[in-house]
Amino acid sequence: MPFDDLRQWISALDRAGELKRIHTEADPVLEIAEITDRVSKLKTGKAGGPALLFQNVKGHPGSQVLINQFGSEARMKMALGVSSFDEFGERIRVFMDLKSPQGFLDKLKMLPLLTEAGKFFPKTVSTGPCKEVIKRDNFSLLDFPILQCWPQDAGRFITLPCVVTRDPASGKRNVGMYRMQVFDATTTGAHWQRQKVAAEHARQRVRSAAENKSAAVDIMARSSGGSMRAEGGHSSGKMEVAVAIGTDPAVTFSAIVPAPPDIEEYLIAGFLRASPVELVKCETVDLEVPATSEIVLEGYVNLDELRTEGPFGDHTGFYSLADLYPVFHVTCITHRKNPIYATTIVGKPPMEDAYMGKAVERVFLPLMRLTIPELIDINLPIEGVFHNLMIVSIRKSYPGQARKVMNAIWSLGQAMFTKCIIVVDEDVDVQELGEVTLKVLNHIDPERDIQFTLGPIDSLDHASRLANYGSKMGIDATRKWPTEGFTRPWPDEIVMDKKTKSLVDSKWKALAKELGID
């Protein structure tokens, strides 16, 4: 079922027994993070622990903090309204693979899909719950129970924001999720790494400002006989930004989905909800945000202003190092009455982001198949923190295909950051790491089957030779063919014959009783 807002989602979690309300006082500085980390790693009960709603937050009377809302497979499926991630992945593949019809019959076949897609487009409404309180002055980010998660963090960080920017050329909106270090009452960092869409929007504006300035100087110089000179550096101007905190689960999830560049995240959220996302215009910037958001921050970044951001305890299990990032200046805050502050923590897995990442994995697979049709399955192991290891099974039909697949993956959006790719045959279950380990280590000749390449690396990778640039490794663990230069016999895998297995199956109930096993 779709959820209209965060509060409806919280009620659903409560009814499903997936939420615990915490009445014991807890400090947003370190303490809430430590409690949540312990709960997410509990060895008893459901994996991932329950969602937590802290209702007695130290220093913030009356405030509530929601955390670990997506921290289990069951809750991720609830959030997406599906019984399996593969079901959802196939739905979104069909939705995103609307090809241009070639003939009249194709057009007729597409009408139901196009009609359905038309229902998901966001719509702008005059107002919404996020406008219940509007503060254009005398506001402070410090009024909200923003967490500091780890001892060496540079301060408090907003960790589950939906950051809205606009492409200056196309006008298309982007919703991304980038952490925001709180510098003071009215400014934060904007941690969009250089490969992210918001960073590209900023670069486009810088280039446009530089070109306009150059053109203006050239016109003035020519009009004055060439005697004029530009003095001083040019100002690159501002880029408007809006930040929605505490959105419904579909909007939150859409902010992390690897969407094709031409599809707005609000449209994906509408698809997930099976109903359009209602948007409202911001008060001080020309952007739209979900009308039911708990909290909205409006403001801008100066395109020529950078400030040291970090360190930050990251999902790698290590602190990401301090670096220079844009500064977000808040010009207005709007929020619901008694807003619920939604947040998350990341660190050594498994944590909440592990379950979000596994859902993205299932979404990403059918999208990958659109360009790599031989893919059978992929696994991004939680301990590989999403960008360090991808295990891929393929239907192999020609020599060198495993290496072709590696290079294809490294050319796909955020998959370009994958540090290690292991390619196996279709009969290997990539979700069973024991089986993968057994077959990979048996199948490879390291010198022959391991290749290295250089390229973009995730900004959080502290081991790469340079920031954002380093090496990657691909392992071809498929069976080798004579056409790949392998002329030795390839042995059969040890498997019991069907007759014997059936015979033992028929006796197993009696045997199990004698053995005292279930």
DSSP 211-250: HHHHHHHHHHHHHTTT-----SPPP--EEEEEEEES--HH
Residues 335 and 418 in one domain: no
Burial of 517 (0-12, 13-18, 19+ CB in 10 A): exposed
The distance in angstroms from the start CA to the end CA of the chain is 37
- The last residue of one of the domains, among 325, 342, 359, is 342
The answer to which of 227-241, 367-381, 387-401, 488-502 has the lowest mean pLDDT is 227-241
For residue 261, pLDDT beyond 80: no
Range of the domain at 407: 371-484
Q: Is residue 149 part of a domain?
A: yes
Residues 6+ apart with CB under 8 A from 82: 88, 91
The model's pLDDT over 98-140, given as tens digits with 9 standing for 90+, comes to 554 455 445 444 445 555 667 789 999 999 999 999 999 999 9
pTM score of the predicted model: 0.87
Per-residue pLDDT, averaged over 147-170, amounts to 96
Assign residue 71 a region (left: φ > 0; alpha: ψ between -120 and 50; beta: otherwise): alpha
pLDDT in tens, 57-114: 999 999 999 999 999 999 999 998 888 887 777 776 666 665 544 554 454 444 455 5
Backbone angles phi, psi at 307, to 5 degrees: -145, 150
- Given this model, what pLDDT does residue 235 score? 47
Tell whether 386 and 295 lie within a shared domain.
Answer: no
Active site annotation includes 86: no
Same domain, 18 and 134: yes
Which candidate in 5, 248, 314, 461 is catalytic?
A: 314
The sheet that has 340-342: what strands, in order across it?
19-22, 51-54, 64-67, 340-342
Same domain assignment for residues 393 and 323? no
Q: What is the mean pLDDT of residues 307-326?
A: 94
Q: Could you tell me if residue 230 is inside a domain?
A: no
- Please tell me the predicted confidence (pLDDT) of residue 403: 97
Residue 45 lies in a domain: yes
The pLDDT, as a whole number, for residue 494 is 93
Q: Residue 316's closest CA among 74, 148, 150? A: 150
Percent of the chain with pLDDT over 70: 89
How far apart CA 518 and CA 501 sit, in angstroms, is 18
In a shared domain, residues 133 and 39: yes
pLDDT tens-digit map of 15-56: 999 999 999 999 999 999 999 999 999 887 788 999 999 999
Identify the burial level of 355 via C-beta atoms within 10 angstroms of its C-beta, where 0-12 means exposed, 13-18 middle and 19 or more buried.
buried
Confidence grade of residue 218 (pLDDT, cut at 50, 70, 90):
low
The pLDDT value recorded for residue 401 is 97
Residue 312's CATH number: 2.30.110.10
Residues 49 and 163 in one domain: yes
Amino acid 224: pLDDT: 43
Q: Is 171 left (phi over 0), alpha (psi -120 to 50) or beta?
A: left
**Pair (337, 432) in one structural domain:** no
* Average per-residue pLDDT for the chain: 89
**444 or 261, greater pLDDT:** 444
At residue 368, does pLDDT exceed 70?
yes
Residue range 179-208: mean pLDDT, rounded: 91
Task: From 79, 69, 74, 68, select the one nearest 149 (Cα to Cα).
Answer: 68
Residue 123: other Cβ atoms inside 10 A: 13
Q: Is residue 180 a part of any domain in this protein?
A: yes
Whichever domain contains 448, its CATH number is: 3.40.1670.10
Residue type for position 353: D
* Count of domains observed in the chain: 2
Residue 517 token pair: 């096993």
Answer yes or no: do 424 and 311 share one domain. no
In the prediction, which pLDDT does 136 show?
96
Place of tokens 């229902």: 119
Contact 3, 248 (CB under 8 A): yes
For 184, residues 6+ apart whose C-beta sits below 8 A from its C-beta are: 141, 142
Quick one: pLDDT at residue 226?
41
Assess if residue 395 is contained within a domain: yes
H helices within 432-472, ranges in order? 433-443, 446-449
Q: Do 147 and 268 sit in the same domain of this protein?
A: yes
Same structural domain for residues 334 and 376?
A: no
What six digits make up the tokens of 220? 């003035």
Looking at residue 194, its pLDDT comes to 81
pLDDT above 90 (res 503)? yes
Are 314 and 411 in a shared domain? no
Contact status, residue 267 vs residue 261, Cβ threshold 8 Å: no
Does residue 114 lie in a domain region? no
